[in-house]
Every structure is written in C-alpha cells, then in structure tokens.
C-alpha cells in the first residue's frame, strides 16, 4: 500500500486530518441568508490546508464550483446568476473593488435581495486571474458583477501557508469578515473565526506530531 493511501486511511473523512486530531466535534453549522459560492481551483480540492472544506462544515448556505479543469473549463454561465433573486458580488480586492460597508451594500443591493458572495479559492495569482479572465475578459453573460473587498484591514491567523501579501487572508477568513457586513452580524464572524482557530491549531499539532509527513 502506498504512503498516500496509508495516510488517507488514517484521516477523518470530514475534517481531513489525522483521526487523533479530528476537530469535527468542535464545529457547528451556522445559517446565513448570504449564499457563499466558492470557485475552487481543482488542485485545492484534496489539500488539508484548504479552508473551503471548513466553510462546508460551518456554513449551511454554501456551494462549490471547481475550476482549472482542462476537460471542463469554468465559465460564468455555470453559476446561473439570477439577479431577480439574489445580488451577486465578487469578493476579491481587485483594483476596481468597492469597499464592503453597510452604506455601499445598500447601494449595490437596493432591492434588499439575498447576497450571493462569489469567492475565488486558490493561490493569490489564481484568484486574480479568475476575476480578470472569467468576470471581465471572457464574460459573455452581459452581467457586470461588482468586486468588493473588506473595508477594514484585518490580521489573519492562517499559519498553514505563506501569503505573498502582508494583508493576505485565507479564503475562510475573508468570508467570515465579509459576513459581518452582509449578515449585519459581527457575532457570527466571531464564532466562525473561533472555529477557524481550532482548525489551524489542530493542523499545526498534526504536522508537528507527524514530522510533516502528511501532505498539505
């Protein structure tokens, strides 16, 4: 049996880390009116350090679309955006991104529809390409989906990967802070970040205990 198969057999199928450090019992699923649409690069799907999986385990209103597959390239049409039912916003600090504040949200969502937060997941360069390529250059839907960014600089606690930016946050952290605005509920953000800290702490323990032998 290969080393990869051996380590997979020892992992929790939900939180994806070694069963001795499983943290599933520390998590709870929280409801939101905001729909979270993750655009995950396919290479992230099986990485234990990926935080979209934590989003699936802690948020009820989540959907995932894979991108980067040569045989099935991502297109904006796949999201089937219906602006009569939701207001879509692309969460990424692009050059033309609008600060995500209560005031700006009212302007972006005058009909007070549920927000559909579209969030790229992957490396920084991958996420940057998604917005430029799929939402601007190759956008054939006729829809202009505004990019929004966190209005206040926040410190991240993502110790599992190195970020190319000092203000870089993990995908999950960015969503948690954005929900404080779209849900008008800072306590929700606090609860999510507490569960995020549990994940990070357990991941670090796993890496130390197993000398980094488990892949990311």
CATH number of the domain that 47 lies in? 3.40.1280
* 215: in domain: no
The residues pairing with 87 across neighbouring beta strands, listed in sequence order, are 115
Over residues 174-200, the pLDDT tens digits come to: 999 999 999 999 999 999 999 999 999
Residue 161 covered by a domain: no
Q: Is residue 138 in a domain?
A: yes
Is 66 part of a structural domain of the chain? yes
pTM for this one?
A: 0.86
Higher pLDDT, 210 or 112: 112
Residue 64 belongs to what domain range? Answer: 29-153+166-209
CB-based contact 178:91 (threshold 8 Å): yes
Average pLDDT (163-177) is: 76
Q: What is the pLDDT of residues 80-102, one digit of tens each?
A: 999 999 999 999 998 899 999 99
Residue 87 lies in a domain: yes
pLDDT digits (tens, 9 = 90+) for 99-149: 999 999 999 999 999 999 999 998 778 888 888 888 888 888 888 999 999
Question: What pairs with residue 11 in β-bridges?
Answer: 18
Residue 191 lies in a domain: yes
pLDDT at 158: 59
Within a domain: residue 199?
Answer: yes
Q: How confident is the model at residue 68 (pLDDT cuts 50, 70, 90)?
A: confident
Helix (H, G, I), strand (E, B) or coil at 148: strand
Do the domain assignments include residue 5? Answer: no
**φ/ψ of residue 41, rounded to 5:** -65, 135
Total tally of structural domains belonging to the chain: 1
Structure tokens at 142: 């006729």
Q: HSE of 207 in the Cβ direction (CA atoms, 13 Å)? A: 14
| Strand partners of residue 98 | 148
């Amino acid at each position: 049996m290969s080393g990869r198969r051996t380590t997979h057999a020892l992992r929790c199928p939900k939180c994806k880390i070694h069963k001795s450090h499983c943290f599933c019992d520390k998590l709870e699923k929280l409801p939101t009116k905001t729909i979270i649409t993750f655009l995950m690069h396919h290479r992230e799907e099986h990485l234990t350090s990926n935080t979209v999986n934590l989003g699936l385990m802690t948020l009820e209103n989540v959907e995932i679309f894979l991108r980067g597959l040569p045989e099935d390239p991502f297109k904006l049409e796949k999201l089937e955006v219906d602006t009569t039912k939701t207001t879509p916003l692309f969460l990424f600090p692009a050059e033309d991104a609008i600060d995500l504040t209560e005031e700006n949200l009212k302007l972006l969502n005058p009909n007070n529809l549920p927000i559909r937060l579209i969030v790229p997941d992957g490396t920084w360069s991958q996420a940057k390409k998604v917005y430029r390529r799929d939402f601007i250059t190759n956008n054939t839907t006729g829809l202009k989906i505004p990019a929004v960014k966190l209005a206040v600089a926040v410190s991240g606690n993502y110790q599992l990967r190195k970020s190319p930016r000092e203000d870089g946050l993990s995908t999950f952290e960015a969503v948690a802070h954005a929900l404080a605005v779209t849900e008008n509920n800072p306590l929700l953000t606090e609860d999510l970040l507490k569960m995020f800290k549990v994940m990070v702490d357990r991941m670090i323990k796993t890496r130390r205990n197993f000398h980094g032998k488990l892949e990311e």
